[in-house]
């Protein structure tokens, strides 16, 4: 909760799987309408943002129907209209991005490589390696990040 309180902007994700740290929060399973889910999510968003809903910038879920209905409800309300919520589930979006970045193979079974896919596969690793192998450059980066956030 400390991280959320300190953050300027909040992205809320509901998903049945673990996060990047492999952590999950067991809450059980219930059947609920989208309206109930929106109401519950708004209550939690108010807590997380300390009633500053303008800090809540986006929402995504792992359930396509829920995501579409959520988008429909939120886009119709004044207070939450600013929350970005594409009417697709997060897993579906991941698959779309995967297909765009790594299209796979052609009819002749040749690997299709595209520059943007190579960049997103190799680029972040190169950047991470560069800064972790150079303490001086890392300190410059941290200083810049501290003064611009």
Which pLDDT value is given to residue 67? 72
The whole-number average pLDDT for the span 50-70 is 80
Lowest mean pLDDT among 39-43, 45-49, 70-74: 70-74
Of the listed ranges 23-32, 38-47, 113-122, 131-140, the least confidently predicted one is: 23-32
Instruction: Tell me, yes or no, whether 94 lies in a domain.
Output: no
Angle at 124 between CA 119 and CA 129, to 5 degrees: 130
Together in a domain, 14 and 70 = yes
The domain of 81 spans 1-89
Mark whether 112 and 57 lie in a shared domain.
no
| Residue 59 sits in the same domain as residue 19 | yes
Single residue among 89, 114, 130 that ends a domain in this structure? 89
pLDDT in tens, 102-140: 777 778 888 777 777 777 777 777 887 888 888 888 888
The total of structural domains in the chain comes to 2
Q: Are residues 27 and 80 in the same domain?
A: yes
13, 57, 92, 137, 141 from 122: Cα distances, Å:
27, 29, 23, 20, 20
Overall pTM surpassing 0.75 (yes/no): no
């Amino acid at each position: 909760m400390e991280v959320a309180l300190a953050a300027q902007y909040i992205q809320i994700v509901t998903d049945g799987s673990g996060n990047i740290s492999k952590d999950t929060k067991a809450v059980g399973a219930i059947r609920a309408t989208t309206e109930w889910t929106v109401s519950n999510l708004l209550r939690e968003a108010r807590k997380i943002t300390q009633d500053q809903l303008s800090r809540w910038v986006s929402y995504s879920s792992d359930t396509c129907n829920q995501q579409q209905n959520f988008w429909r409800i939120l886009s119709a309300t004044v207070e939450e209209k600013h929350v970005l919520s594409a009417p697709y589930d997060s897993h579906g979006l991941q698959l779309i991005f995967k297909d765009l970045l790594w299209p796979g193979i052609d009819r002749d079974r040749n690997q299709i490589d595209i520059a943007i896919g190579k960049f997103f596969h190799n680029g972040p690793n190169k950047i991470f390696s560069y800064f972790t192998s150079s303490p001086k450059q890392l300190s410059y980066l941290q200083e810049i990040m501290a003064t611009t956030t």
